[in-house]
Amino acid sequence: MQGTEDQTKSFFDSKVLGHPAGLFVLFFTEMWERFSFYGMRVLLVNFLTMAVIGYNPGWEWSTENATALFGTYAGLLYLTPILGGIIADKKIGYRWAVVIGALIMTLGHASMALETEASLYIGLALLVIGTGFFKPNMTSIISEMYKDLPEKKDGAYTIFYMGVNAGAFFGMMLCGYLAERVGWSWGFGLAGIFMLLGTLQFWLAKPLFGNIGGVPNAEEIAAAEAEEEKRAIEKGDAVSKRNPFTQLDKILIAITSVIGLLYLINDPLSKIAGIDLFPFELFGLGGTYVVVLTGLGLFLWLVISRISRYDMVTRDRMIAFVIFAFFTVFFWLSFEQGASSLVLFARDSVQRNLMGDGAIIYNIINALLTVVPLAIITWVLFLLWRRTIKKIPGSNIVLVVCFAGVWAVVGWMLNRDLTTVAYNVTYQSYLSPNIDEETGEQTVDKQGNLVFNHIAISEQTEVPANAVIVNDTVKIGEPLELTEGQNINIIHKNNEKTEFAFLNDERLALARTRGDEANRDNGVVAATVIEKLDNQVEIPVSWFSILNSFFIIAFASFFSKWWESKYNPSATGKYALGLIIMAIGFGLLAFGSYGIEEGVKVSLVWLVLAYLFHTLGELCLSPVGLSYVSKLVPARMIAFMFGMWYLAIAIGNKLAAVLGGQIEVITKEYSLSVFFLIFTIVPAVAGIIIWILTPIIKKLMHGVK
């Protein structure tokens, strides 16, 4: 072990900003992985639900089907790292696990860029497997690096998580922008390119790490186990060693794991393909409910039986942790609406087209949001280059290529938005009576006039006999010069069919091909430019998702200082704050969308404020849970309880997608405001309950702060 200690000390000889250069290699590796992950994540539901015929055609899945698939994918992402961490610990080491995981994820992104149904499923499966290897082992490398310098560990993790948020920020911004402006495969493809380059720079930095994160040998495993046993005894955890996992415990773990996996697979399989793995009923309940309730019951039996075998203090502390895990589900089922319903809300219901002063203000804010953090991270790259170019030249060169690519995409994006101009164009429509679904009669407006729908006449539209034809005017925005009187082709831009976009030759050919393939009207409408207007910018749907990462970076230090002050709330206080503050964000959305009529857009201010409060809630709650694993759980149960914690997050993610998939149903039956009110009430009530439970939980924790 002496050799490893010497290498760890020499590892700290090459410093950047007071930390070893290797930390920043990990920073950039994690940054590119998060770039890829969040870049894809922000696209998936939008792509799947976008209309087959349109400016940027998708697959036109129902929201329920799209979110069922996404929810299963998101849930599995929190379960496979448990297995990946075990394999790395015992067999292949952290560095190999990271490389293997990253390469598998690269293949997953490449598969998704093909945009076929088979490649989509293969791609998502590869991303789940790759994440299992990658996710737990990056932080394990940092932990090994700083095992002899624990006082520096907090600072190291702070820097590392800045990389996480920087990657999420730029991934959602740039992959989202490319996907929405050029095509979906470009967004998925960009995510894969940076995943591959990030892997390459990490592998080429191998000389910097020495044996850190290498393949474990029998001596190191034995030493680690001895150290863990020593810590357990020091914690007064000797009793836990007399409570081994029984054969029944192992069987229950296997059964509940299989049930959970089958449910996650069956949900999208039954909805999308119509194949139900549980096609039976029992006591009037469908097979899915029976299996899930059975699995839940067995899991509770397992947890209760395990906990009951410990002494009173240990048992009480573990019960406190289980309570925290339970309320975690309510947080994530609301927070993760950001990947499903809030994406669709931003796309279809938020006013994203800005002109004149509004466009100028947005362009300035967007430029600052993009250029300033990118410049800061590029400066960090320069410092890393200066310190390590002789030792790891290949890794540095790959990083420079990565950043050159990012700067190029950023420059193109900002220039495109600055040069986009609005034009009024005219086209022909015919009037179709607006029929009330309940009465079957034509609707009337507040003045008593009959209401007609304006149906755009495409090159394939069969206009009904005696239909009234009118000339309609619509605004389009393009980064090109059009002239008054110029004849152009336009097409619906979104699923609501309230906006149009210009078709160049390539998109025109694609629209006609899609129409032929779907045996539907291709939607191509002839139009004439009648007036050039002011500068215009359309905010991408994905832009709102970057606000979470931005607000984390902006407010993380404030919360860190708050937790270190005398005003530091208790664990239950932080949980209550996190849940209630997030509920306020949804309450603002419910208020902002209250009473709006169909086709009317909500101000973007409400969505920006919602993301602000969601992030503040996350900063209160998210760091609490895992920190209490080591404080409340005996050593022998830490791995099991980590698994339980990630299971709670996985359940929260799956429920978030299932509930988010009901946005169209609830909006049609009630209103958009009612949908958001659900996510206001549920976390708020959960927050109040855990706050009320403070005295009980404090007593269960037996002095743990």
Residue indicated by tokens 């029992």:
282
Flag whether 497 is in a domain. Answer: yes
Flag whether 415 is in a domain. Answer: no
Q: Which domain holds residue 501?
A: 421-478+480-538
Which pLDDT score is estimated for 4? 47
Flag whether 268 is in a domain. Answer: no
Could you report the per-residue pLDDT of 217-268, keeping only the tens digit for each? Answer: 655 555 555 655 555 555 544 444 456 778 888 899 889 989 999 999 999 9
Flag whether 122 is in a domain. Answer: no
Flag whether 525 is in a domain. Answer: yes
Angle at 155 between CA 152 and CA 160, to 5 degrees: 120
Residue indicated by tokens 């129902």:
62
Which pLDDT score is estimated for 227? 59
- Helix/strand number for the chain, H first, E second: 24, 11
Which pLDDT score is estimated for 626? 65
User: What are the strands, taking DSSP E only, across 112-236?
Assistant: none
Flag whether 223 is in a domain. Answer: no
Element (H, E) at 325: helix 312-335
Q: 335-368 in b/e burial notation, b at 16+ Cβ within 10 A?
A: bbbbbbbbbbbbbbbbebbbbeebbeebbeebee
409, 35 contact by CB (below 8 A): no
Alpha carbon distance 272, 278 (integer Å): 15
- Residue 584 token pair: 């306020």
Total Cβ atoms within 10 A of residue 389: 12
Could you report the per-residue pLDDT of 443-501, keeping only the tens digit for each? Answer: 888 888 888 989 999 999 999 988 999 999 999 999 999 999 999 999 998 777 778 99
Alpha carbon distance 239, 247 (integer Å): 19
Alpha carbon distance 540, 411 (integer Å): 16
The identity of residue 17, as a single letter, is L
Query: What are the angstrom distances between the C-alpha of 2 and each of 5, 8, 220, 242, 383?
Result: 5, 10, 11, 32, 30
When divided into structural domains, the chain yields a total of 1
What angle, rounded to 10 degrees, do the helices at 94-112 and 80-87 form? Answer: 140
* DSSP secondary structure, 574-631, as one string: HHHHHHHHHHHHHHHHHHHTTTPPTTPPBPHHHHHHHHHHHHHHHHHHHHHHHHHHHH
Which pLDDT score is estimated for 485? 95
332: left (phi over 0), alpha (psi -120 to 50) or beta: alpha
Alpha carbon distance 620, 171 (integer Å): 25
Which pLDDT score is estimated for 447? 83
690, 698 contact by CB (below 8 A): no
Alpha carbon distance 413, 401 (integer Å): 18
User: What are the strands, taking DSSP E only, across 300-451?
Assistant: 353-355, 421-433
Q: What is the 3-state secondary structure (H, E, C) of 206-244?
A: HHHHCCCCCCCCHHHHHHHHHHHHHHHHHCCCHHHHHCC
The runs of H, that is alpha helices, within 241-311 are 247-268, 287-308
Flag whether 434 is in a domain. Answer: yes
End-to-end CA distance of the chain, in Å?
Answer: 34
Q: Which among 3, 21, 82 has a CA at the least distance from the CA of 392?
A: 21
Residue indicated by tokens 């500068």:
535
Alpha carbon distance 126, 462 (integer Å): 46
Flag whether 521 is in a domain. Answer: yes
Residue indicated by tokens 């393909």:
273
Q: Count CA atoms closer than 13 A to 236's CA, side-chain side.
A: 6
Which pLDDT score is estimated for 662? 93
Give me the residues of the chain with pLDDT under 50, please: 1-4, 6-8, 10-11, 236-241
